[in-house]
């Protein structure tokens, strides 16, 4: 049973930075690509960033491009998402996901097999 647990969300002010973390368990973490998505109220889940199993390749979506850095530490079984210059419109639930079957840096929700429960990020103006 794979479990993904996100942490690091909370209430921040506009222009703040925040780092989210995800700790997977139940699978050999280092073998699989990982991704981050978010879901704004009333909207579909949106791709933010993904990282290959080795960490050698990353891919970013357009919505927060230039303000994100995804990284992973396979020795510590963690994947992180650093976010900067946060805006009130970044208020959303942020999800970590693991892809078992896709190569490289997948960026569609359907490419991912396991999801965390999400962590809420609220950005105040």
Helices (H), the chain: none
* pLDDT tier for residue 125 given thresholds of 50, 70 and 90: very high
Q: List the structure tokens of 9.
A: 């969300």
Mean pLDDT (whole number) for 85-99: 97
Residue 88 in contact with residue 15, Cβ under 8 Å? Answer: no
Evaluate if residue 15 carries a pLDDT over 90. Answer: yes
Least confident of 74-78, 83-87, 121-125: 74-78
Report residue 123's pLDDT band, with 50, 70 and 90 as the boundaries.
very high
* Sign of the alpha-carbon torsion through 61, 66, 72, 78: negative
The contacts of residue 60 (CB under 8 Å, 6+ apart) are 48, 49, 68, 70
Q: How confident is the model at residue 106 (pLDDT cuts 50, 70, 90)?
A: very high
The pLDDT assigned to 1 comes to: 82
> DSSP state, 94?
E
Q: Look at the alpha carbons of 92, 16, 5, 102 in this order and tell me if their dihedral is positive or negative.
A: positive
Count of all residues that appear for the chain in the document: 125
- Measured in degrees and rounded to the nearest 5, phi and psi for residue 97 equal -145, 155
- According to the model, what pLDDT value does residue 103 have? 83
pLDDT score for 79: 97
């Amino acid at each position: 049973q794979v479990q993904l647990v996100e942490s690091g969300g909370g209430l921040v002010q506009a222009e703040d930075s925040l780092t989210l973390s995800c700790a997977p368990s139940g699978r050999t973490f280092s073998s699989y690509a990982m991704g981050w998505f978010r879901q704004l109220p009333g909207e579909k889940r949106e791709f933010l960033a993904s990282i290959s199993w080795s960490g050698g390749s990353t891919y970013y979506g357009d919505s927060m491009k230039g303000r994100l850095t995804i990284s992973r530490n396979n020795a510590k079984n963690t994947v992180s998402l650093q976010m900067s210059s946060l805006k009130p419109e970044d208020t959303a639930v942020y999800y970590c996901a693991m892809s078992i079957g896709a190569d490289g840096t997948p960026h569609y929700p359907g490419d991912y097999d396991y999801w965390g429960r999400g962590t809420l990020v609220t950005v105040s103006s």
